[in-house]
Structure 1
Amino acid sequence: MPTTDETLLLHLNEAIATIREKDQLFKVVTTKLRLIFPFDFIGINVFDKDLQMKRLFLRDYYGTDEAPVLPAGLDHFTPIAGSPIEKLVADPRVQQFTPQQYLADYPNYAPFNKFEKLGVKHITAVPLHIGGRLTGFLTLASRRMPDLTAADEKLLDKLGSLIAVAVANTLAFEEVARREQERTLQLSITNALLSIKQREPLFRAVAEALSQVVQFDYFGLRVQRAGRQEAFEGFAEFSRTADDLSAPLVALDPNRMNGLNQLDRSAMYHQLNDLLQVPALYTGDEFRAQAQRYPLLRQVYEEYGTRAMLIVPIWQRPDGAAVLILASHNPLAFRPEDLATVLALTPQIALALENLFAFEQIEELKAQVEQERTYLVDEINTSARFGADSGAFIGSGPALQRVQLRISQVAPTDTTVLISGETGTGKELVARELHNASPRHARALIKLNCAALPAQLIESELFGHEKGAFTGAVERRIGKFELANGGSIFLDEIGELPLDLQAKLLRVLQEREFERLGGTKVLHSDARVIAATNRVLADEVAAGRFRADLYYRLNVFPIELAPLRERREDIEPLLRHFVQRLSKRLGKPVRQVRPTDLAALQAYSWPGNIRELEHVLEQAIIVSQGPFLEFAGFAAAPLVLAGAAASPILAAAPIKTLKEQERDHILAALTRTGGRVSGAQGAALLLDINPKTLEARMKKLGIRRTVGVEA
């Protein structure tokens, strides 16, 4: 017959071999122990392999309504040194003592003080050994002095070895369960990153997944990326997770701290960055000390009641950083195991963030490409024909050669270019040639005519606007500078830009940053600026109509286009070019030009320059019937050629002023279109200018819409 001791050992062996659940296992162990060794309280401490740290693994109390509150930190690993356990480690055998025996050396040790108040008279400490290695201690406490014999102590020593195995097995099973939970969580986060493409839902999904393995009250992500203004840059965003995952985000925003200027805030961020670069957990007094040192942590300490924080860097690299932050009201909320768990999940969280930013970049690029497509389609539908067809680079005269040289010199750079020249000399074509010959040619050349829009709309065109920024702003609009990011922007008629917008343009040229109308987010644009004007900007600066600082920013590399009257040697090749192209487009035979007409064309001053030449030839091609082009029959036109007889008259005629020539030219276009200004059959299309610009010129020259009636 087995003895009672042998029966107890057999029962414990069987329990250890078959039971895997911690609470059930130790309920059996404590129940069996109480059959032989009556006790009121039981506790098990486990040690690390170096016997430097201890952790309370199990405790149970019997026969009392006032079980002592678990002392702060005992469920975490805490140092053995400085506690009564260090005496047990120094002499690892079955020992019996009273709380009073230890209180003399450890008067502030909370558990024993509580035991004394509960009437505990006796404590038995049993070492836990596995293979001769000390792994912990079993503590049995009772209100009365037990009568333990040497045989009882020997039995307790044997039981200690069995319980040590049970504890080790339980810890191993817990580690397996923890790793399995980590793998499940990793899969959960991976699934989230594959399906969620918006920031806040992704952050909430990650927070919810983490809350399954780590207890916390606030979850935060601080993200910084070089050259970008993040929604989460410069502060951490926290979301209540323990109570309500749908609660709104709250910001740890230093802008709400009175008395802090931008320099102070920058210094504060720089200081806090040192703390956020290494994995760490700060609890209790340690977190309070950090809160006293760092203003941002003091804010969460005071305003949100934060008493512990766990910090895990997700990445640290030259192009930015990302840090995960968990915070809790409980001063001892986080354990080293929690830090290890979150560290194991950082690859998935990093992948989730990278995936999120990739989705965002794709959406940004899609939006930009769509804007570019819309812009280019609109430009094709409303603009005149460009490229070689426009004729600005037809000819071989010295003036044209100088322009081509200047283009070849500056095109490979990102230098700002200012193109000046009279109306119709081909300034936009030069801008296109600059862009096409530059490294930016794969991206769009975005064009804005500063004289074509009312002043109040130019800012929206340049910088864009947010929904609701002004009456009629029913949706967000991307501005030309944002659209031109990575490409070039051509600002035509820059001299017409209002003074208040000149200051904002100067900021873009200097800082490469701007805000949309109605927005607060600072945007960056890497756009090469090409400006053009038919005014003498130096004179405009002297008259106070143009900012001197903006003029010097624009006039880095000037290109001046000569008027056609100074390129008379190029008129003949231009004429041949336009006759060939226009005849083909209009479905007319190619007709010759009489020598006398050619001489008259070369002698004419051409106030409208190449554009005027093209329009005169187009009219001649349309009306001509014989073998030669006929220039007669246009009484309202600025050029009247009636065959050979008309040429000497033209050559001898007095030269009109540019204003008179422009007025006559607009009147001729209005005569042809029946007074229509805009639309497919309007004078603006015929003259190749914006309808708004044409109306402004008509008003300036005293021309009414009704043909032949002057203001």
Structure 2
Amino acid sequence: MPEQDDTLLLHLNEAIATTRDKDSLFKIVTTKLRLIFPFDLIGINVFDAELKNKRLFLRDYYGAEEIVSELPATVDYFTPIAGSPVEKLVADPRVRQITLQDYMGDYPAYEPFLRMLHLGVSQLTVVPLRTAGHLTGFLTLASRRRPNLTPADEKLLEKIGSLVAVAVANTLAFEEVARREQERTLQLNINNALLSIKQREPLFRAVAEELGRLVPFAYFGIRVQRAGQQANIFQAFAEFLRDTPEAPLVALDPERDQDQRLSDPAGIYQQNSELLHEPAIYSGAEFKELAVRYPRLRYIYEHYGTRAVLVAPIWQRPDGAAVLTLSAARPDAFRNEDLATVVALVPQIALALENLFAFEQIEELRAQVEQERTYLVDEINTSARFGADSGAFIGSGPALQQTLLRIRQVASTDTTVLISGETGTGKELVARELHNASPRHNRALIKLNCAALPAQLIESELFGHEKGAFTGAVERRIGKFELANGGSIFLDEIGELPLDLQAKLLRVLQEREFERLGGTKVLHSDARVIAATNRVLADEVAAGRFRADLYYRLNVFPIALAPLRERREDIEPLLRHFVQRLSKRLGKPIRQVRPADLAALQAYGWPGNIRELEHVLEQAIIVSQGPFLEFAGFAAAPLVLALPAGAASNFAPLKTLKEQERDHILAALQRTGGRVSGAQGAALLLDINPKTLEARMKKLGIRRTVGVE
């Protein structure tokens, strides 16, 4: 029936030219074909350009409805032609009729044939599809009864095959255009996310959700190994998981790397791993083999049912590496097109990572600068008298000259310095001079008095804490070692540091690394350490109150400050310096010192050293009325000042340092009415921390109510 054949070809040609929807088009094709060639099942397989792989483009069964649901209409992935009956058809591509039994001997386990036999289908009519003379696939008509095809029927099927080949090519082209349009939309949406989202978790959640519209996956992960981190340790940068394709993405616990079941001793994320070399899809037996080798993959294989992973290295370079991983439960979940889509996104994801690194670094620097600003403002307010104007380096005696020599010798290095000396000898001023004369002078000198805080707070002050690390930790706090990065840190009264914190300080000195309280991230600090103590640390080590290893780490370059009683030749220039400076600050005329008073000042033991001398002079300047400074009548002043110089040496008993310190504190409390802290407190008068003063009072048996002492 040539006229009927021509009508069929005309209808098919018209449908191909006017219909763009794949399902509608092939519904027309199959309906028209069944008018001339009765069949129970129709299938179209397409090949790749090299004729190495095939995939099911279309399948439709005209039988019981319950059976239809068992058969996939299409399959999105390619399978090898080799090892299947199709290899025989490709070897001799022509219209032919075959019986399944003819092939079952060579391919007894070929699953599509077994399914057809289960349905009672045993006869196949195979039609090659060619485009521009190149074989692109096969059209298969299957039936329960063998059709009797005439040569004319075969010629008609050849013509139909040519039309169907054009329809398939057009559909694939339309699908490719649609896929590229989806990719462009994906890239545009990701670009918009990059521009509008600056936080890590929301940004990569948006990227994962957009990617999930094109590529089916159960897990999305980005892992990064950055410069400065421990070698070959990849940290999760973003990880999301969902139970079903429709389920929302759930962010995974960032601490999950601590799970021993996910440990990576074999190195799946080490820089020499094959998973970091090239983009690839691992599925089926290949993925199972990887799961045997790597505990992390074995865990997801067993617990999540993962059967395929798609890996796309983002970068691998001397300063670190990054990798994007998708995983799925179906072994055929990922296609080469999916890999191409992910690889096309790699430059954008790399840019997102770089931007986030920059944003996070800027945020850390901003927080550090703010902390430094707050710290330095506080330092300016509380330490205005420090520096050259403080009198710390006034004098020409041999003890001072030795100190200045030691400072010059070590200032330009990064060597750890231990400053020892009694209270008031100027240990902090020496630390400041060391810092100011060093190459680090453009950065901050950060102070911490180890005796000024409760033991439980010192660790937070030293190393910082994360939000929620302990009760009251409502926000992240940067510690002193972070603030001092690139500068110097001054640890005053280091001998008061609790033993458990001594071990942590030792780690910083040895490894230059630490963690914030409540955190797991290893931080590094390039801070020069300057420590000070008024204790004899060697004796503290012998008594078991100070770690020997920490002592030797601190005592690399010791500087011992002489007490003022061993610098009597410097008392007169110090006195002139303080009288001029304090008189100007207090708005008082400069008064002279009687020779007898000067001799008494030089004879006094000065348990409070330079600080005590300054305070005595300040009180004398305030109350004096005549041409000379008056020292008599002050409980805080040296008792010997009421006597002539000769009598001072003959009659004044020499008190112990402990007695002198107790008298000095009592005098300060007497002047402040027993107040310890605050603007009118003894701590301010004595220029020490209130908590330190309270500790000294307790040690010396001094009560707050001092009127009866």
- TM, length-normalised to structure 1: 0.90
1:244 maps to what in 2?
247
Moved more, 160-169 or 221-230: 221-230
Q: Give the whole-Å Cα distance in 1 for the aligned partners of 2:648 and 2:188.
A: 86
Letter matched to residue 194 of structure 2 = L
Q: CA deviation at 1:252?
A: 9.6
Moved more, 569-578 or 678-687: 569-578
SS in 1 for 2:326: strand
Q: Give the whole-Å Cα distance in 2 for the aligned partners of 1:88 and 1:629.
A: 119
Letter matched to residue 287 of structure 1 = F
Moved more, 480-489 or 166-175: 480-489
Q: CA deviation at 1:312?
A: 1.8
For 1:510-529, list aligned pairs within 5 A: 510-517=510-517, 522-529=522-529
Q: Give the whole-Å Cα distance in 2 for the aligned partners of 1:168 and 1:407.
A: 84
Q: CA deviation at 1:569?
A: 4.0
Q: Give the whole-Å Cα distance in 1 for the aligned partners of 2:270 and 2:482.
A: 33
2:410 maps to what in 1?
410
1:700 maps to what in 2?
699
2:40 maps to what in 1?
40
Tell whether the 8 Å contact from 1:68 to 1:114 is kept in structure 2 after alignment.
Answer: no
Tell whether the 8 Å contact from 2:425 to 2:562 is kept in structure 1 after alignment.
Answer: yes
Letter matched to residue 563 of structure 1 = P
1:194/1:395 CA distance change after superposition, 3 Å: farther
2:340 maps to what in 1?
340
Moved more, 683-692 or 163-172: 163-172
Unaligned runs of 5+ in 2: none
For 1:523-562, list aligned pairs within 5 A: 523-562=523-562
Alignment RMSD: 3.2
Tell whether the 8 Å contact from 1:397 to 1:567 is kept in structure 2 after alignment.
Answer: yes
Tell whether the 8 Å contact from 2:125 to 2:142 is kept in structure 1 after alignment.
Answer: yes
Q: Give the whole-Å Cα distance in 2 for the aligned partners of 1:270 and 1:41.
A: 48
Q: CA deviation at 1:684?
A: 1.0
Tell whether the 8 Å contact from 2:225 to 2:233 is kept in structure 1 after alignment.
Answer: no
1:633/1:121 CA distance change after superposition, 3 Å: closer
Tell whether the 8 Å contact from 1:485 to 1:526 is kept in structure 2 after alignment.
Answer: yes
After superposition, the C-alpha distances for 1:521-555 in whole angstroms (9 at most, x for unaligned) are 55444433211001111122122221111101111
Unaligned runs of 5+ in 1: none
After superposition, the C-alpha distances for 1:457-502 in whole angstroms (9 at most, x for unaligned) are 3333333445665555565544333443443321111112222322
SS in 1 for 2:68: coil
1:191 maps to what in 2?
192
Q: Give the whole-Å Cα distance in 2 for the aligned partners of 1:269 and 1:441.
A: 45
Tell whether the 8 Å contact from 2:601 to 2:641 is kept in structure 1 after alignment.
Answer: no
Whether 2:232 is the aligned partner of 1:233: answer no
Q: Give the whole-Å Cα distance in 2 for the aligned partners of 1:235 and 1:108.
A: 45
Letter matched to residue 118 of structure 2 = K
Tell whether the 8 Å contact from 2:697 to 2:703 is kept in structure 1 after alignment.
Answer: yes
Tell whether the 8 Å contact from 1:314 to 1:346 is kept in structure 2 after alignment.
Answer: yes
2:676 maps to what in 1?
677
Tell whether the 8 Å contact from 2:59 to 2:73 is kept in structure 1 after alignment.
Answer: no
SS in 2 for 1:139: strand
2:171 maps to what in 1?
170
1:473/1:123 CA distance change after superposition, 3 Å: closer
Q: Give the whole-Å Cα distance in 2 for the aligned partners of 1:635 and 1:122.
A: 121
Whether 2:423 is the aligned partner of 1:433: answer no
Q: Give the whole-Å Cα distance in 1 for the aligned partners of 2:266 and 2:83.
A: 40
Whether 2:634 is the aligned partner of 1:634: answer yes
2:608 maps to what in 1?
608
Moved more, 630-639 or 133-142: 630-639
1:11 maps to what in 2?
11
For 1:292-691, list aligned pairs within 5 A: 292-383=292-383, 385-465=385-465, 477-517=477-517, 522-595=522-595, 597-638=597-638, 641=641, 646-650=644-648, 652=650, 653-691=652-690
Tell whether the 8 Å contact from 1:440 to 1:487 is kept in structure 2 after alignment.
Answer: yes
Q: CA deviation at 1:390?
A: 1.7
For 1:71-90, list aligned pairs within 5 A: 75-90=76-91
Q: Give the whole-Å Cα distance in 2 for the aligned partners of 1:708 and 1:309.
A: 81
Q: Give the whole-Å Cα distance in 1 for the aligned partners of 2:16 and 2:366.
A: 62
Tell whether the 8 Å contact from 1:565 to 1:609 is kept in structure 2 after alignment.
Answer: yes
Provide the identity percentage: 81
- TM, length-normalised to structure 2: 0.90
1:105/1:267 CA distance change after superposition, 3 Å: closer
SS in 2 for 1:276: helix
1:625/1:358 CA distance change after superposition, 3 Å: same
Tell whether the 8 Å contact from 1:237 to 1:252 is kept in structure 2 after alignment.
Answer: no
2:154 maps to what in 1?
153
Q: Give the whole-Å Cα distance in 2 for the aligned partners of 1:81 and 1:413.
A: 72
Tell whether the 8 Å contact from 1:222 to 1:234 is kept in structure 2 after alignment.
Answer: yes
After superposition, the C-alpha distances for 1:564-597 in whole angstroms (9 at most, x for unaligned) are 3333443343333322322221122333445554
Q: Give the whole-Å Cα distance in 1 for the aligned partners of 2:3 and 2:236.
A: 71
Q: CA deviation at 1:419?
A: 0.9
1:93 maps to what in 2?
94
After superposition, the C-alpha distances for 1:631-673 in whole angstroms (9 at most, x for unaligned) are 333254126546xx84444455454332232223223322332
1:428/1:72 CA distance change after superposition, 3 Å: farther
Q: Give the whole-Å Cα distance in 1 for the aligned partners of 2:286 and 2:74.
A: 13
Q: How many residues align?
A: 704
Moved more, 28-37 or 614-623: 28-37
Tell whether the 8 Å contact from 2:481 to 2:527 is kept in structure 1 after alignment.
Answer: yes
Q: Give the whole-Å Cα distance in 2 for the aligned partners of 1:99 and 1:50.
A: 26
1:231/1:272 CA distance change after superposition, 3 Å: closer
Tell whether the 8 Å contact from 2:463 to 2:514 is kept in structure 1 after alignment.
Answer: yes
Q: Give the whole-Å Cα distance in 1 for the aligned partners of 2:255 and 2:420.
A: 52
After superposition, the C-alpha distances for 1:187-215 in whole angstroms (9 at most, x for unaligned) are 22222233334333333222211210011
Moved more, 228-237 or 50-59: 228-237
Letter matched to residue 663 of structure 1 = R
Whether 2:133 is the aligned partner of 1:142: answer no
